[in-house]
Structure formats: structure tokens, C-alpha cells
Amino acid sequence: METSSGYRSLTYNQTGFKLKNTSGRTQLWLSKIGDVPIRLHREIPDNSTVKQVTVKREPTGEWFAVLGIETENDAPPKPENPEKCVGIDVGILSYTHDSDGFSVGSLDLSEERERLEREQRKLSRKEHGSANYRKQQCVVARRHADLKRKRRDFLHRLSAYYAREYDLVAVEDLDAKELMELPSNSRNRASAAWGTFLRMLEYKCERKGTHFVAVDPRGTTKECSQCGVSTDKPLWVREHSCPLCGFEADRDANAALNILSRGITEVGVVHSESTSSEPRRDSAGLRKSLRDFRTPVETALATGTHSVSAKRVVEAGSPGLTERTASAVSE
């Protein structure tokens, strides 16, 4: 693609590029351009072949090289009798609430949004087309990129955890576009990026050999997960209380149990419960690794439900935390 100021991106298919390692530094050779020093985001797998290279300039002024690679299908086989199964209900108050009784709060990006709005106001006061205007445009673009990167980092860590620690993951088959068209609370729904989270979760489950199933979301909140009786609940009612069997639980926890039940039925596998006396999440290490969370998310949680701050999920890979914490929630 070309603009009045020159090329913004260019793509090499099959030929015209070569990765080189010169004195311990990775360089990308491009036809008619030459050697370009690069810093790899992650190591390229040994059994892969680079098939395409796209070099693009972001609105922030940064240049990126996107490598399209072809790898062998080395995903482990999916278990016929999965032992560790989980149903996940997504929301706004709690980003995820699963059938094991854990909830992860939504990521708070209010400070980042305030910084973005502040820079946008500065941009509006600049003379359009001037040097200061173009400079401020880059600042605004960096604020947008900061928001995007923090959100995607949170989604990568969370989806990777579920794909790695479970044999079967069941979620709601949500139509994100249709949800965005609803008249109220659209900003929070857009910020939640449920569609992106579910896509990440799906491909990571495929890569890890984990069953992934998206079930019909209708009635998951209304139905009792113990007896199946449907009870209408307005949105502000956060507790499920069955009038027939007396089962009581958090509204989202009940929905997660229904999602799990539908997922196991739809996949048609035999669910072998673990015989261990320890809770399944303890064996995965999450409760131990995240027990130092200082500020649990403030949600209406039933007794026995464990909450995790989304900010701590994002910070889990930061220096100063234990290796066990980083491995529990890293991608």
C-alpha cells in the first residue's frame, strides 16, 4: 500500500528475503533494500519455514516485520476421556467465571483511556497539517497502541492458561457483532473483546490438543445447573436460587456449570472425574501462584468462589514475581 509520503507496507512472498545471524544479531535481508536489524518477538521454531514477510509502518512511526511461517502439525491428540473439564462464562463485571469456582475481573484500563483522551484534546488544538499536528498524531497513536497491547496481553495470558491446564474447554457461542449492536453499554462490551478472547482460546486449544466447544448460550443463566428448571432473572439479580431443588450459587457460576454440561454432551466424550482429593485448580497451580493478589475484584461472588484481579494476571510476568506465578499465567 502506498501513500503520498511513500510506502506504508510491502510484502515478499516466497522469495526476496532471508534471515541471517551476524555476530549474534538477527538481520533480515530484503531484496532491493539490504540488511535490516530486527529484534524477534519470539524464537522461530526449528521445524518451520518462513513463507512470507510483510514489512509495515505503524501510525506510531514504528516499523514491524511480520513473518508468515509454515510448521508441522505437532499438536498432541485430544484425550478420549478428558479428566479436567471447565465451562467458562464471560461477562463485564467478571471477565470470566468458570465452573471450578474462579472468576477473573475485567481489565481496568481507565488510566490509559484518560491519557488517550488527554492527548486527543491536545491534538484538536493543533493546526491541522502542521509539524506539531503530525507529531501529536504519533503521540495519540502510541496511546492507542498501549491500550491495544495491554488488552491483548491480558487475553493471551488468560486464554493460554485455560488451553494449557484443561482437557476440555466449553464456552458460549457468542455473536460479538450482534452484541455490539445492542443499545446500551456498548463501550464496555467493545473493551471486553470477547470475540478476540474466544478466537485466541480456540486456536490455543487446537495447538495444545485440548477439546474446544462453543455451545448455544440461550438459557444458560436461567436454567438451574442441578435440576434444569428455568427461572427468569433480571440482570441486576446476581444470585441463582432454584425454587424447585433449592440450589444456590452465583449467577455466573451457575451459567458456567450449564455451559460445561452442554459442552460435554455436544463433544460426545466420556468425562472422567479426577480421583484426587485436592481441588483441580490447586493441581494446576493457579490458586497457589495467585494467592498474593492484593486487591481482589469487587464482584458479588458466592461463598467458596475465588476472585482474581485482571491487573495481577497482566503483571504476572513482571520481574519480582515468582517463577511459579509467571508459569501459571504466561502464554
160-192, pLDDT tens digit by residue? Answer: 999 999 999 999 887 766 555 555 555 555 656
Q: Which of 311, 306, 263, 248 is nearest to 281 (CA)?
A: 306
C-alpha cell at 251: 449467577
Q: Can 167 be counted among the known catalytic residues?
A: no
User: How large is the average pLDDT for residues 65-88?
Assistant: 84
Least confident of 22-26, 110-114, 143-147, 189-193: 189-193
Q: Can 46 be counted among the known catalytic residues?
A: no
From 112, 165, 167, 172, active-site residue: 172
Pair (52, 154) in one structural domain: no
Pair (307, 174) in one structural domain: yes
| Gap between the Cα atoms of 131 and 142, Å rounded | 17
Domain boundary, last residue among 71, 98, 132: 71
Residue type, 97: H
Q: Can 89 be counted among the known catalytic residues?
A: yes
Supply the pLDDT for residue 43.
84
Pair (169, 34) in one structural domain: no
Provide the number of structural domains found in the chain. Answer: 2
| Gap between the Cα atoms of 188 and 193, Å rounded | 9
| Gap between the Cα atoms of 223 and 230, Å rounded | 4
C-alpha cell at 270: 466420556
| Gap between the Cα atoms of 133 and 73, Å rounded | 49
- Model's pTM, two decimal places? 0.72
Per-residue pLDDT band for 320 (boundaries 50, 70, 90) equals: very low
Range of the domain at 296: 85-107+150-329
Sequence-separated (6 or more) residues with CB below 8 Å from residue 265: none
Pair (218, 304) in one structural domain: yes
Question: Is residue 128 one of the residues assigned to a domain?
Answer: no
Domain boundary, last residue among 47, 71, 95: 71
Pair (6, 56) in one structural domain: yes
- The answer to whether residues 242 and 224 touch, using CB atoms and an 8 Å cutoff, is yes
Pair (154, 65) in one structural domain: no
Which of 291 and 78 is assigned the larger pLDDT? 78
Is the pLDDT confidence value at 194 over 80?
Answer: yes
Question: Is residue 132 one of the residues assigned to a domain?
Answer: no
From 119, 167, 223, 252, active-site residue: 252
Residues paired with 96 in a beta bridge: 90, 104
Sequence-separated (6 or more) residues with CB below 8 Å from residue 101: 253, 281, 304, 305, 306
C-alpha cell at 21: 545471524
- For residue 256, what are the CA distances in angstroms to 204, 259, 261? 20, 5, 9
Pair (249, 286) in one structural domain: yes
Domain boundary, last residue among 45, 71, 97: 71
Terminal alpha carbon distance of the chain: 33
| Gap between the Cα atoms of 286 and 253, Å rounded | 18
Question: Is residue 112 one of the residues assigned to a domain?
Answer: no
Pair (175, 316) in one structural domain: yes
